[in-house]
């Protein structure tokens, strides 16, 4: 039996981002614009991202940490 591949987890060839990573960046950009360029609270960002993609808080934290360079 072959395992199924989740296409949302495969990085896009254009920029190397997955659908979830792209959703995080999109939501971060729109929230920063709404807040006048101020920092966006993580919980606010997670709330917006979870409206677009199915992501657990743990996975969100892992992706966000990786995207900002925290290991």
pLDDT digits (tens, 9 = 90+) for 18-47: 999 999 999 999 999 999 999 999 999 999
Taking the C-alpha atoms of residue 32 and residue 2, their distance in angstroms, rounded to an integer, is 43
pTM of this prediction?
0.81
User: Using the 8-state DSSP alphabet, how is residue 16 labeled?
Assistant: S
Q: What is the pLDDT of residues 2-20, one digit of tens each?
A: 567 676 667 767 778 899 9
Burial class (CB in 10 A: 0-12, 13-18, 19+), 33: exposed
């Amino acid at each position: 039996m072959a395992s199924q591949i989740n296409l949302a987890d495969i990085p896009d060839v254009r920029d190397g981002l997955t659908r979830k990573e792209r959703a995080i960046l999109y939501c971060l950009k729109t929230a920063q614009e709404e807040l006048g360029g101020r920092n966006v609270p993580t919980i606010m960002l997670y709330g917006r991202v979870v409206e677009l993609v199915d992501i657990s808080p743990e996975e969100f934290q892992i992706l966000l940490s990786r995207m900002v360079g925290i290991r």
